[in-house]
Amino acid sequence: MVDTGNAADDRVRPLEESDHDLTVNTGSLVVFVLDAGGALPIPGALVKIYNAGEIGGEPIAELISGESGKTEVLYLPTPPVSISELPDRSPGIYSLYDIVVSLDGYFDIVSRNIPVYPQVLSIQPVYMVPMTRLNPQMPVSGE
């Protein structure tokens, strides 16, 4: 498994009015599954979402990437926005989630501590690596 860290920090946008009816305690997440070069979407990947630190337990959601490589929007609980007004904002105004993406023929990808903010759509790209690309023992056709 490859750990991608928490690369979602710079991939968030405010929700539009046309977005889902959110409460102040809800954020949303979309996962884009792409090839390692980032040029091609990968449909059919299994995307499991966990509360941070709970990989191996029961996922809170399982999604399949569509033809565009994108999952449907997932709405997730977050702390209320009012926490940001407090002098000591610990633990912060976001919730952390872990993502595991898998598909036959690719290495599983694990993204840990992905922040989801209240009333914000977080977009998390995941770059899949084909197993043959990193396995020099694979026979080359014609040999």
pLDDT, position 132: 78
pLDDT, position 9: 38
Q: Is the confidence at residue 108, as pLDDT, over 70?
A: yes
pLDDT tens figures, 39-96:
899 999 999 999 999 998 999 999 999 999 999 999 999 988 776 666 665 566 899 9
pLDDT, position 86: 62
AA identity, residue 51: N
pLDDT tens figures, 113-137:
999 998 889 999 999 999 875 555 5
pLDDT, position 137: 59
Please give the average per-residue pLDDT across 88-108, as a whole number: 87
Nearest of 85, 126, 116, 107 to residue 9 by alpha carbon? 116
Give the pTM: 0.73
- Helix, strand or coil, per DSSP, at residue 131: helix
CATH topology of domain 2-130: Immunoglobulin-like (2.60.40)
Q: How confident is the model at residue 23 (pLDDT cuts 50, 70, 90)?
A: low
Q: How confident is the model at residue 13 (pLDDT cuts 50, 70, 90)?
A: very low
76 in Cβ contact with 121 (< 8 Å): no
Give me the sign of the Cα torsion angle 128, 39, 52, 64: negative
Which position has the token pair 């399982």?
62
